[in-house]
Amino acid sequence: MLKHRVIPALLLQNGGLVKTLKFKTPKYVGDPINAIRIFNEKEVDELMVLDISASKKTQEPDYALIERFASECFMPLTYGGGITHLNQAGRIFSLGVEKICLQTASLDNPHLVAQLAERFGSQSVVVSIDVKRNWMGKPQLFGAAQGNPQPTHWLEMAQQLVQAGAGEVLLNAVDRDGTLQGPDIELVQEASAKITVPLIAVGGVSSLDDIKALVDAGASAVAAGAFFVFHGPHRAVLITYPRYHELEALFTSKEFVKSSRNLETK
């Protein structure tokens, strides 16, 4: 088993699979069930499915669709979108989902994270911290449902949610989302120095080298969307995933092992 997870992050809108660009202009890229089946064949270790329209529209999670996802998945599944209370989370877990991911609800009600962690365990609760840089390059907490910056400092919010019981933090660089232009390494370095639970970095990944750079910067895992669904300069839809031996070589190279040891001794 690989020491660091590499996770496809699929976005849903109205039941279809989409990909956004800097959290805007979602482009339809296909049937999510078909994508899950392809990732099964490619022996992906973990999968993340996020419904980007549920919270915006204050809709309930689509339990029937989630059940189909869970029944098709041969790997651990994380689901996010529209979760606002314990009963919803319990129903989603009962369908076979291993983890839930909160963004809007955790910003509105951090106490919900504590309630979820107490009932289902911290290992089942992921919080998404979306960060967008302003015109001066300063990172700010971004509310995806509201579509604007939030007053709380992004790192303080992450620490608060971890203290409440979140078992993982998904750090999303909004400005890099869907760009395939490289990740925000500085953001990950800053977060990894302060966050005490596993950090999943997402946004901008365009190569295996980017994945390695994020782990070198302190990420415990790397998630990506466009990198796994687009191919070529014209962004043709083609679902891919690195072969196991490629990831194994990436994470066991002498340079990588040395950098990982340096991170462990910080």
Q: For 205-227, how does the pLDDT look when each residue is reduced to its tens digit (9 = 90+)?
A: 999 999 999 999 999 999 999 99
Q: What residues form DSSP beta bridges with 168?
A: 126
Q: How confident is the model at residue 49 (pLDDT cuts 50, 70, 90)?
A: very high
pLDDT for 253 equals: 66
Exactly one of 45, 51, 130, 216 is catalytic; name it. Answer: 130
Question: For 12-40, what is each residue's pLDDT tens digit?
Answer: 999 999 999 999 999 999 999 999 999 99
Q: Is 130 a catalytic residue?
A: yes
Cα(143)–Cα(151) distance, integer angstroms: 10
Nearest one of 115, 67, 111, 68 to 87, comparing CA atoms: 115
SS3 content of the chain, % helix, strand, coil (to 5): 40, 25, 35
pTM: 0.92
Q: Tell me how long the chain is.
A: 266
pLDDT for 152 equals: 93
- Kindly state the average pLDDT of the residues 68-86: 95
Spacing of C-alpha 228 from chain mean position: 13
Domains along the sequence of the chain with CATH: 5-264 (3.20.20.70)
pLDDT for 43 equals: 87
Q: How confident is the model at residue 233 (pLDDT cuts 50, 70, 90)?
A: confident
pLDDT for 140 equals: 96
- Which residues have C-beta within 8 Å of that of residue 259, sequence separation ≥ 6? 216
Rg over CA atoms, the chain = 17
Ranges of H-type helices in the chain: 32-41, 63-72, 86-94, 104-108, 110-120, 154-164, 185-192, 208-216, 226-229, 244-252, 254-264
Map residue 44 onto helix, strand or coil. coil
pLDDT for 255 equals: 52
